[in-house]
Amino acid sequence: MELAEQELQASAEEFRALEEAFAHFSRQTAQLREAYLELKGRAERINLELEAANLELTRKVRELDEANNFQRSILNSIPIAVVVTDLEGTIRTFNPAAERVWGVAAEEATGRHFRQVMQPHEGLLEAVLEGRCRQESRRRELDGAQRTSISSTACLVENSDGEPIGAVQLDRDITRLCALRLQVYEQGKLADLGKVAAGLAHEIRKPLNGVKGFASILQRRFDDDAQHAQYVANIMDAADRLNGMLSRLLDFARPDGVHLDTCDLSSSAERIAEFVRAEGRPASVGIVVNVPPDARRVTADADKLSQVLLNLVQNGCDAVEGEGTVRVEALPEGAGPERFVRVQVVDTGKGMSPEQVSRILEPFYTSKENGTGLGLSIVSRILELHGTRLEVESEPGRGTAMSFLLPAASSSEDR
């Protein structure tokens, strides 16, 4: 009996131990499950946070790309040359306007030192990078197919802490601006001269009319004296010439308007050619008119256009020494509402030097022995009233071409 009780007691103790082990296992399992669920929840939260971070990073990258593309579009679109270098002078940015100014492709310029690309005008960047100044501006001339005026500014590029990280140079083409300034200056001079000329012409004309009046009285008194009658005739002839010059002065000074209408350029040119031929020009000087149908009709003041053509054709004939030709030509330019006709008068005469070309439109400047120097000034004034200008191309011994643009008549006007 005692043995059986002992065995039962031992079995009970083993059963209790087994129960405790199972209870411990269950508790551990529950704890592991809770830990697993907690880890799973944390993993899901981390995944959500990572997805949100990835979305934010993607958005930031897209915004950065858009900002870079926007910056690149600005650099590519602005007409100002932009050259950016690091502190060592290596070019990092070279926009299309810089390609046009410096005549170097961006692929060739980027990565090279600015001295290799921008000679002999690298002094601005050099002064900035060497610390002699933080900013410097300069105007200079670039020699190429055409002389170009450039306004340049260079300055340091700094980071958010104010530390220099490179330099930038901006080059702006001011050739047209300089030409407009010169044009305004010349127009101001002409306006002032016109006022003086108008006043002077009126003041001279008064005593001149008196001289001619007294001369006509003397002429009647010397009808029987041929010698003295000739002297009086010479006085009256000189007075008439001076009066004609005063009339041209007044034409130059008078701020007339223009009456714009559709003009037949071909008919006007042919009429002027016939008139100049009838003046007794040498037969060795031929006048040729070549106006194609698509350049025949222009918008202009017909009378003033005839005056312009007459002056230009007469000047062309005067420039021809011996045999030669004067051609009146017209060429259409542009399309649609921007259609123009380039009218040009070309002679095969002796031509002019650059110094003569630069002064040819100045009042009273002439190379003719008996010229007044007002013909081309009046032509220039008339063309200004039409909103255009006279362009002159000439070389000594190779003739001269004078041209100007006029609006082509619209299709409605043609009908």
Note the pLDDT tens digit of each residue in 332-344. Answer: 987 766 789 999 9
Contact 363, 325 (CB under 8 A): no
Using CA atoms, how far apart are residues 31 and 47, in angstroms rounded to an integer? 24
pLDDT tier for residue 102 given thresholds of 50, 70 and 90: confident
Q: What is the mean pLDDT of residues 372-392?
A: 81
pLDDT digits (tens, 9 = 90+) for 237-262: 777 767 766 666 666 555 566 788 89
Rounded to the nearest 10 degrees, the angle between the axes of helix 375-385 and helix 226-253 is: 30
Using CA atoms, how far apart are residues 232 and 407, in angstroms rounded to an integer? 50
pLDDT at 176: 74
User: Which of 253, 260, 288, 259 has the alpha carbon at shortest distance from 274?
Assistant: 288
Using CA atoms, how far apart are residues 129 and 85, in angstroms rounded to an integer? 9
Say whether pLDDT at 369 is over 70: no
Using CA atoms, how far apart are residues 232 and 234, in angstroms rounded to an integer? 5
User: Which of 392, 389, 411 has the alpha carbon at shortest distance from 401?
Assistant: 392
Say whether pLDDT at 380 is over 80: yes
Contact 101, 173 (CB under 8 A): yes
Of the chain, the percentage scoring pLDDT greater than 90 comes to 8
Say whether pLDDT at 145 is over 60: no
Q: What is the mean pLDDT of residues 55-74?
A: 82
Q: Could you give the C-alpha distances from 347 to 83, 214, 313, 403, in angstroms and in order?
A: 46, 44, 9, 12
Using CA atoms, how far apart are residues 168 and 162, in angstroms rounded to an integer? 15
**Sign of the C-alpha dihedral, residues 260, 264, 265, 268?**
negative
Structure tokens belonging to residue 199: 């006043």
Per CATH, the homologous superfamily of domain 78-173 is: PAS domain (3.30.450.20)
Using CA atoms, how far apart are residues 386 and 257, in angstroms rounded to an integer? 9
Rounded to the nearest 10 degrees, the angle between the axes of helix 302-319 and helix 265-278 is: 50
pLDDT at 386: 84
pLDDT at 187: 62
Q: Does domain 261-414 have CATH number 3.30.70.920?
A: no
The structural domains of the chain, with segments of one domain joined by +, span 1-74, 78-173, 178-253, 261-414
Percent of the chain that is helix, strand, coil (3-state, to 5): 55, 20, 25
Say whether pLDDT at 17 is over 70: yes
Mean pLDDT estimate for the chain: 78
pLDDT at 292: 92
* pTM for this model (two decimals): 0.47
Say whether pLDDT at 56 is over 80: yes
Q: What is the mean pLDDT of residues 359-382?
A: 72
pLDDT at 116: 86
Contact 402, 312 (CB under 8 A): yes
The domains spanning 78-173 and 261-414 adopt the same CATH topology = no
Using CA atoms, how far apart are residues 131 and 136, in angstroms rounded to an integer? 11
pLDDT at 397: 85
pLDDT digits (tens, 9 = 90+) for 163-216: 888 888 888 877 777 776 766 666 666 666 666 666 666 566 667 666 667 677
Structure tokens belonging to residue 351: 């031509």
